[in-house]
Amino acid sequence: MVLVVSEEVREALASRRPVVALESTIIAHGLPRPRNLQVARELEQAVRREGAVPATIAVLDGRPRVGLDEEQLERIADADGVRKLGHRDLPLAVASGAIGATTVSATALLAARAGIRVFATGGLGGVHREWTATQDESADLGLLARTRITVVCAGVKSILDVPATLQRLETLGVAVAGYGTDRFPGFYLSDSGHPVDWTLRTPEQVAEVMRAQDALGAPESALVVANPVPEEEQLDPELHARVLADALHACAREGVTGQAVTPFLLDHLVRHTDGASLNANLAAVRGNVRLAARVATAWARG
């Protein structure tokens, strides 16, 4: 098989110990050096403190790897030319011997192939603003519609069209539940302004939904657990609204299109909030990782 699963992750799965998949784009593309490596280590340690095994996922020299050792983690953090890989890019990366960091779609696919059921990330991709003109939609949504994995996230990035994304997830048959809330979180914000139909309040309840998915024999779709960033750690909503509006105008003015839109907007938010958006992002990721480890533990008990 092309997929390489680390010995630690392989042994944990074989003995039904809890495992949490972690993406690598936040390491390679989401944070400046050397903070990116510090955060990567911190997130893995947070999983371990909850009694679970972390499985950071990336592609190194054309080999998809589930679970990285320290040297491999450093390479993803420090190497130049690390590709950003969605699930569609995986065959190309494998065939060309590339080094790449996995997005939500690629991480979810490789985690599921390895037998991992729980995945923690920051925010999902979704339907972009001006969709009627651009038809721009993240590959995350389609992949989650056909992959049996539980994704703990802080909703979708607030630069996206949140209500359209929720509608799209419904159409695709992807289950969505708020964790401890009946409001859908907005990544940097605790509340995107939109409701969710279902609320789960404990890791055990999440695990019961996962078991029900299997028992029903339903299509192999994901469960999205939307875990809001704590209000005291969210980005100030007024600042967020003002800077996002400015970012969208700048994007249109400079003619930024396609895959360049998301990094342009996120970079604008970081620079024009004096790093506050990045702090909110990291607070969300930390909370998601801890919750995912608890969900994986409840799932492993079943």
Q: Can 130 be counted among the known catalytic residues?
A: no
DSSP 8-state class, residue 220? S
Report how far residue 287's alpha carbon sits from residue 60's, in angstroms, rounded to the nearest whole number: 28
- Inter-residue contact 87 to 93 (CB < 8 Å): no
Report how far residue 198's alpha carbon sits from residue 181's, in angstroms, rounded to the nearest whole number: 9
- Which residues make beta-bridge pairs with 152? 120, 225
Give me the DSSP letters along 26-75: HHHTSS-TTHHHHHHHHHHHHHHHTT-EEEEEEEETTEEEES--HHHHHH
Question: Which of 8, 74, 157, 170 is the catalytic position?
Answer: 157
Burial, 133: exposed, middle or buried (Cβ in 10 Å; 0-12, 13-18, 19+)?
exposed
Q: Can 84 be counted among the known catalytic residues?
A: no
Amino acid at the residue 101: A
Question: Which of 7, 8, 23, 170 is the catalytic position?
Answer: 23
Give me the DSSP letters along 70-120: HHHHHHHHH-SSPEEE-GGGHHHHHHHT--EEE-HHHHHHHHHHHT--EEE
For the annotated catalytic residues, the residue numbers are: 23, 157
